[in-house]
Structure 1
Amino acid sequence: MAHEARGQVTTISGGTDVNMGEYKRSVENVELPPSVREFANRCDRVIGDRDRFLWKWIHNLFEEFTLSSVSKGALADVYERKTLLTIFVTVLDDLAERSGDRPTFEIGRRIPFGVDGFPDIDLERAGLEAPVLELLADLWGEIDGGLREAPQYGDYADVFDYDLRQTFDAMEYSGLLNDQPMIANRTEAERHDAYNMAMFPYAGIDLMHSPSFDRDEYGALRSLICDLQQMARIGNWITTWERELAEGDFSSGVVVCALRRGVITPTEVTEADEKTVRRLIDRIKSHGIESEFVREWEIRNKTVRKRTSEVESVDADAFVDGIQAVMNHHLASEGYK
């Protein structure tokens, strides 16, 4: 195992060494589907602080961790719909965590399930970010219209809606934690925040396009996804916590552990200038907290691989391999997303 942040090469768990400069160029060369480009451009106009690299990065990764049961002819549509969903949840997550716009977030999270009176209400008079909500509404319309054409949509729509609510609840928890950092604890961070990775909604989209999947195995598959999304969350935590700390965001598991152990205090973070943030980062690293999460990822990886035989209508080993690839991509893209 090696984790060499922002260095020349970064790997984990036997992954292939990645030249970070070459990796960044390879992602930048990814061609996004027209619908994704359209909403990415609109997102730039409305939000203005998201690098196109993120959308290309995730779109490129879906080839690695899409269920093998997806019909080959549906793969392009699946990648596109999951990338659009990523934009949707990222915009919504920014409302909850970065801008702290709770009223707009509360309306936005209801869009997939119908909002009484929306879009007829006077959004600006209600103190809501009208352009953001209009973006989310149009984006959801594009996602939902595509999903309803999926051959197995009806079999998984109800569970998909539930999984979306779990994802949005995770965002609400992160926003609450940023407002009330005294509630920070690792148990809840791992239990709630992992759903922010949207692994269950992603899998739901896959299954809507998976005529060969044995629905009797759905429970076993979901059990595996619980572990895999925690692994994905750890990868995200250890590669974004420095940027989030500089933004005053307490929600990363790395920062949560630092708070609980008294390595840093909420006041230090909220009042920190750029120089102080650098000192806080160095202090957290000196206590080995980041390394603990890397080791935990390794343990979970070994454990989940012992359970892949529980599912036969999906290549579960390949799916776990995909999450390992995601981890290596997280490390290779540290500082870019």
Structure 2
Amino acid sequence: MPSTSIVFPPHIQKLSKEQFDLQRISNKIAAILQKYPLFKDRNSTLFLRFLPIGYSYVTLSCVSSEYVEDLIVAKTKIGMWITLYDDLADNPKYRNFKLLEELYKIPHNSEYIEYEKLNEEERQIVELSLMLWDDIFTMISTLPYYEKFKEFFAFDIQQFYVANRYSELVSEYPKMTNQTENRIYLSYNMGMVIVGMMDLMATWDGVFAELGTMRNILFQGQVLGRISNVLNTLERELKEEDFTNEVISLALQNMDLVLDDFTKRSKEELEKILHPLAQELLEERTTLYQEIRNISLETFDVAVFVSGLQSLHELHENMRSQI
């Protein structure tokens, strides 16, 4: 089992080393990073530790033990895929809208990818994305409720594409950024509804009449994940001039600031200006935790899920300099 500083939810803790091993998961992901060295400026800890641990924290308690490890590997591949697309949308160093148009054809319209428009590195990125999706579908298609939830899963993938297209627009027209649209669209960059539907495909006993309530909880969890991400990547995104961060949106909307302030003012000035806005998000996080706790379900343990979200936030904070 992992080091004592990592405390997994009870349903993960009870699994034997044969059923769940963090190092085994990391080794599988390391093999992909070695074969596809495309994440040039990303610390490998993001993929080898943060994503597997984070997805373990928020794995629903209803998942059958036999599927937990394979699911976390598949979810980590989802996280790699989201990272790839996200960087191509909003990282000025890697922004590539032409390539994204081809990548959006994956997974359901891959036969229409126009490879002749792409250079060698772009083709490698397409190859990586196709490989990830082939692995993900190979895994989830074996799950007992795959057929029941595959349409929801496909719908949620498209919501991430909408989110990424929104990031493209903000990257090109940063003055359009605003808190309302950021909140509606960009939480899908967390992928928590997507992986939650994967968990429901692998449940041992679900009350599927609760599906609407469960998706509500997953979406709220996704918003919480987004808040954690926003708070803990703010410094890096300021350096990258990534204006999709919600704290920046709040500042532009509610303070006498313009975009140039974020490149010309000192780090200390910006921290002083943005601190109250970050505090507002922390307060909202506390309210959302309680709102989710107040929901009753039979399918999975809501309190355990909220505890997992809190552990995910702490993980964000503890690994801020690495991811």
Q: TM-score normalized by structure 1?
A: 0.83
The residue that corresponds to 2:103 in the other structure is 108
Matches within 5 A, 1:184-195: 184-195=177-188
The match for 1:232 among 225, 232, 242 is 225
Are residues 1:124 and 2:118 paired?
yes
RMSD over aligned CA atoms reads 2.0
The match for 1:54 among 34, 46, 60 is 46
The residue that corresponds to 1:292 in the other structure is 280
Q: CA deviation at 1:154?
A: 0.9
Q: CA deviation at 1:280?
A: 5.3
| Unmatched 5+ stretches in structure 2 | 1-21
Q: TM-score normalized by structure 2?
A: 0.86
Q: Structure 1 CA distance, aligned partners of 2:229 and 2:38?
A: 25
Going from structure 1 to structure 2, the CA distance change for 1:49 and 1:172 (only over 3 Å counts) comes to: same
Could you tell me the percent identity over the aligned residues? 25
The residue that corresponds to 2:57 in the other structure is 64
| Unmatched 5+ stretches in structure 1 | 1-28
Going from structure 1 to structure 2, the CA distance change for 1:129 and 1:264 (only over 3 Å counts) comes to: farther
The residue that corresponds to 2:130 in the other structure is 137
Q: Structure 2 CA distance, aligned partners of 1:112 and 1:211?
A: 28
Q: Give the residue type in structure 2 aligned to 1:47.
A: F
Q: Structure 2 CA distance, aligned partners of 1:182 and 1:158?
A: 35
Point out the more displaced range, 146-155 or 251-260: 146-155
Q: CA deviation at 1:159?
A: 0.6
The residue that corresponds to 1:335 in the other structure is 321
8 A Cα contact 1:92 1:109, kept in partner: no
Q: Give the residue type in structure 1 aligned to 2:271.
A: D
Q: Structure 1 CA distance, aligned partners of 2:28 and 2:177?
A: 39
Q: Structure 2 CA distance, aligned partners of 1:263 and 1:157?
A: 46
The residue that corresponds to 2:18 in the other structure is none
The residue that corresponds to 2:304 in the other structure is 318
Q: Structure 2 CA distance, aligned partners of 1:163 and 1:42?
A: 28
Q: CA deviation at 1:218?
A: 0.8
The residue that corresponds to 1:15 in the other structure is none
Q: CA deviation at 1:281?
A: 2.9
Q: Structure 1 CA distance, aligned partners of 2:167 and 2:272?
A: 23
Q: CA deviation at 1:88?
A: 0.9
Q: Structure 2 CA distance, aligned partners of 1:114 and 1:277?
A: 46
Q: Structure 2 CA distance, aligned partners of 1:219 and 1:259?
A: 35
8 A Cα contact 1:185 1:260, kept in partner: yes
Q: Structure 1 CA distance, aligned partners of 2:110 and 2:305?
A: 36
8 A Cα contact 2:251 2:274, kept in partner: no
Q: CA deviation at 1:239?
A: 0.4
